Structure 1
Amino acid sequence: MAKRSSTQESVALAFELLKRIPRSRKVTASELREQLESIGIKRDIRTIQRNLETLCEHFNITRDERGKPYGYSWNKSGEGLALPNLSSHEALLLSMAEDYLANLLPSSVMASLDGFFLEARYKLNPTDDNTKDRDWLKKVRVVSETQPLLAPTLDHDVFKSVSEALYNDRLLDVEYRNAQHAVRRAVVMPLGLAQQGCRMYLVCRFDGYDNERALAIHRITKATVSTFCFERPKGFRLSQYDADGRFGFGEGKKCRIVFCITKQAGYHLLETPLAENQTVEEFDEHYTIAATVIDSLRLKMWVKGFGCDVWNISYE
């Protein structure tokens, strides 16, 4: 039985190495070792080197021995494994996706995609035939509607544990610091992960409670994945949690807001309404806007942000 287990581990290691050997650039044994460690496979450098030597003998893989450390890649005439020859358009898509998926996919999944992202970045290195694709990255950008803030520092081990527990529906033992700087410990059911601006939140249920709360991940100082699984609440949906205004410090209750706003400050609300049932009365110098929205602290802060350009505000 031990021999079979050892054989399975050897095959799994070889397969993971094959997936990470690129076609259009060289990768070293040390780089491969780091990629494997990021998904929980720990091997010493000599073991990696021996496996690479074996793979070179049985697959169409070349080893560049012109300098140390040696570099490994698929022969250009070989088909490779799992890493197709990316077109420049595919490389462009992957490069853009990497920025936005970094914190929204389980760390193990992101690690398994490392080879694709590396290949995409290499494909977009300056060449004569990919200039327009490479320059596209300089021509598009997602911009903030509010004052830009630097992202808080996330503990890598904490985030890894959070995503692992969320992915596998396991209880999570957390130690966190609240807004009053008090340190608390709790066992929680991780139910969802959300990015709001530059901050990441874990939506969860505390052990013994039947309501959901959102914990800022940068305030979690320790996180340990439990061996115990839990059954996700059947009525919970992250999309509904968001629609109820919970990330805007609301409780899901709706209200009808009515206010007057100067034309200069309120014209954009004619183009981007507050709600489908929004109504607008136009006067010489202002609009009277009415709409049914989620009542929340974020709503009140948004209205307050217009200053003296808004008046006669009511929440019904």
Structure 2
Amino acid sequence: MTQEKKTTSARGKGGTRSRPASLETLAFTLELLKRIPRGRKITATELWKQLRDAGWQRDLRTVQRQLEELSAHFDIERDDRERPYGYCWKEAARGLSIPHLNETESLVLALAERQLGALLPADVMRSMEPFFAQARGTLGAAARLQKGSAAGEWMEKVRVVSSAQPLLPPEIRPGVFDAVSRALYANHLLDVQYRNARGELVKGRVQPLGLAQQAERLYLVCRFDGYEDDRSLALHRIQKAKETGLPFARPKGFDLERFDDEGRLAFGQGEKVQIDILIDKGAGLHLAESRLAADQRLEERGSDYRIRATVASTERLVWWLRGFGDDVTVLAPARLARAVHPHRMKVAA
């Protein structure tokens, strides 16, 4: 393999020592192998940019030479039908494995596979499959060989439970999630055909900014090219999605956490409102235990709690309050009371 003349300094107990060039080359080669995906092609230029961003100072030709040698000795496929050449692990290849994955590490990986599958880019999940498979194998072996193994039994002891009525996730069209996750991961523009809630087909080019999971649904937070407002598109309503390969600069002011805190993922417009409600103690006990907001104030009023709190003004808030039926009365603001209690307003009128 290509030898690098450059050495890297490493701090030890005795001061500064040099890392041999051969060891440096080995570390670089392992880093390169880890970045070769499974199921899709990646070019030498893309790998070179990833390595450069990670702090590896190598020229493009060095990466190209390494890839040529690696594809000759590992189960790496080189597509040389056209330039630039593409590289990927072959479908049946083992790729890189962790030979001494213990039970605790396997447990963490197995839980990550279960919970993060819908939020990690599809290519990342595919590239991690060898690790997930090894984690499952380690836990399975522990359960068979060590009856009562804590790690081996843990996956049967934990479960994420929905607080709402469970629903099956809506079907996402083939190829949509892959295209969305690749474009989001690489900061590439995305061409979409989207059917909105009114049944209208909208076509456009968007800047993918974030991916959010709300119960059983996935939403792409994006900005249509040429506009300044941010929107969320339900993935199951995207009819077609195509990664353009064209890079864009992420808006400096965008923050996905703030976008969510403002209620934008709950059909709101970023407005905050102070609510004042009366709720039956039986129905509202959980609000005494899990507050609506940091500024929540709770008072006992006979058989009710009176709760004041500042929350995002969203359609989800209206649906949630309506779910309590006659056990809740909205005192303020008036427009929220009208939305939650339309039948009472008609009687009062």
TM-score range, shorter chain: 0.7 to 0.9
**TM-score, length of structure 1 as denominator length:** 0.76
Whether contact under 8 Å (2:192, 2:206) holds in the other structure is yes
Please point out which of 103, 111, 114 is paired with 1:99.
Answer: 114
Structure 1 gaps, min length 5: 18-38, 53-72, 74-79
1:262 aligns with 2:296: no
Q: CA deviation at 1:109?
A: 1.5
Whether contact under 8 Å (1:83, 1:115) holds in the other structure is no
Query: Where do 1:1-316 residues align within 5 Å?
Result: 8-9=67-68, 11-12=70-71, 14-15=73-74, 41=88, 82-125=97-140, 126-129=143-146, 131-315=149-333
Distance in structure 2 (CA, Å) of the matches to 1:124 and 1:219? 38
Q: CA deviation at 1:40?
A: 6.9
Which gives a bigger RCO, structure 1 or 2 (Cα 8 Å, sep 6+)? 1
Q: CA deviation at 1:155?
A: 2.8
Distance in structure 1 (CA, Å) of the matches to 2:329 and 2:238? 41
Distance in structure 2 (CA, Å) of the matches to 1:312 and 1:90? 49
260 and 226 in structure 1: CA distance in 2 versus 1, 3 angstrom threshold:
same
Whether contact under 8 Å (2:223, 2:230) holds in the other structure is yes
User: What value does the CA root-mean-square deviation take over the aligned residues?
Assistant: 2.6
State the one-letter code of the partner of 1:87.
N
State the one-letter code of the partner of 2:88.
I
| Residue identity (%) | 44
Q: CA deviation at 1:301?
A: 1.1
The alignment partner of 2:88 has SS state of coil
Distance in structure 1 (CA, Å) of the matches to 2:254 and 2:293? 24
State the one-letter code of the partner of 1:8.
L
State the one-letter code of the partner of 1:308.
D
The alignment partner of 1:113 has SS state of helix
Distance in structure 1 (CA, Å) of the matches to 2:330 and 2:67? 72
Q: CA deviation at 1:232?
A: 0.7
Whether contact under 8 Å (2:75, 2:89) holds in the other structure is no
Q: CA deviation at 1:132?
A: 2.7
Distance in structure 2 (CA, Å) of the matches to 1:117 and 1:143? 23
Question: How far does the alpha carbon of each residue in 1:104-127 deviate from its partner, in whole angstroms, 9 at most, with x for none?
Answer: 112222121111001011112242
Q: CA deviation at 1:84?
A: 3.0
Distance in structure 2 (CA, Å) of the matches to 1:16 and 1:95? 25
Q: CA deviation at 1:7?
A: 7.3
Q: CA deviation at 1:182?
A: 2.1
The alignment partner of 2:197 has SS state of coil
The alignment partner of 2:271 has SS state of strand
Q: How many pairs were matched up? A: 261
Distance in structure 2 (CA, Å) of the matches to 1:148 and 1:129? 35
The alignment partner of 1:241 has SS state of helix
Distance in structure 1 (CA, Å) of the matches to 2:211 and 2:321? 28
Distance in structure 1 (CA, Å) of the matches to 2:117 and 2:282? 39
Distance in structure 1 (CA, Å) of the matches to 2:216 and 2:330? 34
Distance in structure 2 (CA, Å) of the matches to 1:122 and 1:181? 46
**TM-score, length of structure 2 as denominator length:** 0.69
Whether contact under 8 Å (2:279, 2:305) holds in the other structure is yes
The alignment partner of 1:189 has SS state of strand
The alignment partner of 1:267 has SS state of helix
Question: How far does the alpha carbon of each residue in 1:172-231 deviate from its partner, in whole angstroms, 9 at most, with x for none?
Answer: 101121112222211100001111111111000012210000001111121111132111
Structure 2 gaps, min length 5: 1-60, 77-85, 335-349
The alignment partner of 2:144 has SS state of coil
Give the corresponding residue for 1:28.
none
